[in-house]
Structure 1
């Protein structure tokens, strides 16, 4: 992968960046995404943020080698600490767990009033992001699910607004599976949730063999509820 040939998941993230945005890519690693966005003329200003020294140096080296240091500012810092309020209007966060992405948004939420779009690609735990968006009045404008190199990724694009507009009656199912993804139900979506359901059923069998206590009973009920939700959606 390089700035000209992004991975499929990062290509999908880039597709959601509005033209002319002022972009912040948090956890930018080698800064491939902001470099690509500038080279393609999608944005002319970007911040590439990294919390660790190694990835920060890699991002800075990449930006310098591409001759983009006048357009992309590589900064070292934790989450949204790398941007000032009002500095950007689009934020991408890709390649982290959903819980971590939600915590980054929560910690830096004072930086978000001027942001028009969030584009979030969790490796796992998208439900944590959907819950955060719901609680902070961000509505999903689109979701995408894709498979690359044997791994399945979800991408969530959100803008400020009524978060319940896409959930309707399937609120719990929407948080878990994604309200827009549920409506599309492509082959990757079905593959992911059939696999998840089968895994939960295997865990249930193991829990049935364990000594019954409050913790195992709670876990079993949680798994049964998730299985019920998934089976109900897959039958539609």
Structure 2
């Protein structure tokens, strides 16, 4: 077996996946992460799922070329509906928005089973996902920062503990990234996005007040 080369985001996700019996790659696209997990033995078995037949066909070819197809099960379906409760010990959701990720997790209450690892790479609005995780009893174990196409992304490792937190706005914006390589660049990106968001809040005084307070805090710390 020959593991395919991953881009920085997928490599960070693969590195966070704990060794397990079964891992699920939800929205597997080209199947490179699925093949990597199978080839490296990070998971004994991998479920590669996608909503569309085209990516599944590409994923099959990727796994065939890597020599690991016998360890990968391809499934067509929407989100986590392709999995039975407890079937996978690690679930990777990459490349969709925070809101779509939240909808997937909400529709699959079994992700709150003890020990189910979630590795998440939100394409947009990472602060929204962090807040939802904390407010719904999930623990963020770790985050990894990666830069792709001149944008910074946070790769998250989360697990349900049942302990609910009410995070600050600053915690939601930056998460566990402040000690990571690239933290200064990520922070600058998030502040820039917050300023852009603030410009659209003139009709929402309370949201505008919170955004202004957060900007003062972050720029004062910087």
Asked if these proteins are the same fold (TM beyond 0.5), I'd say yes
Question: Hey, what's the Cα distance between the residues in 2 that align with 1:35 and 1:154?
Answer: 22
1:132 aligns with 2:118: no
Alpha-carbon distance, 1:221 to partner: 4.1
Is there any run of 5+ residues in structure 2 with no aligned partner, and where? none
1:181 aligns with 2:177: yes
**Cα distance change on mapping 1:86 and 1:233 into 2, 3 Å:** same
Is there any run of 5+ residues in structure 1 with no aligned partner, and where? 208-215
Whichever of the two has the greater Rg, that structure is: 1
Higher relative contact order (CA 8 A, sep 6+): 2
**Cα distance change on mapping 1:234 and 1:70 into 2, 3 Å:** farther
Aligned to 1:51: 51
1:151 aligns with 2:148: no
Question: Hey, what's the Cα distance between the residues in 2 that align with 1:25 and 1:132?
Answer: 21
1:217 aligns with 2:203: yes
Question: Hey, what's the Cα distance between the residues in 2 that align with 1:85 and 1:194?
Answer: 39
Question: Hey, what's the Cα distance between the residues in 1 that align with 2:3 and 2:216?
Answer: 41
Q: Number of aligned residue pairs: give it.
A: 218
Aligned to 1:192: 189
Question: Hey, what's the Cα distance between the residues in 1 that align with 2:212 and 2:21?
Answer: 40
Question: Hey, what's the Cα distance between the residues in 1 that align with 2:129 and 2:194?
Answer: 21
**Cα distance change on mapping 1:11 and 1:227 into 2, 3 Å:** farther
Question: Hey, what's the Cα distance between the residues in 1 that align with 2:72 and 2:32?
Answer: 11
Alpha-carbon distance, 1:134 to partner: 2.4
- Cα shift readout 1:96-141 (whole Å, capped 9, x = no counterpart): 1110011011112235425521010001112332233224321110
Name the Cα RMSD after superposition. Answer: 2.4
Aligned to 1:121: 121
Aligned to 1:88: 88
Secondary structure of the residue aligned to 2:41 is coil
TM-score, normalised on structure 1? 0.82
Aligned to 1:210: none
Aligned to 1:231: 216
**Cα distance change on mapping 1:4 and 1:61 into 2, 3 Å:** closer
- Cα shift readout 1:164-200 (whole Å, capped 9, x = no counterpart): 3xx7xx623212332x224668222222123224424
1:33 aligns with 2:33: yes
Alpha-carbon distance, 1:234 to partner: 4.4
Question: Hey, what's the Cα distance between the residues in 2 that align with 1:233 and 1:192?
Answer: 12
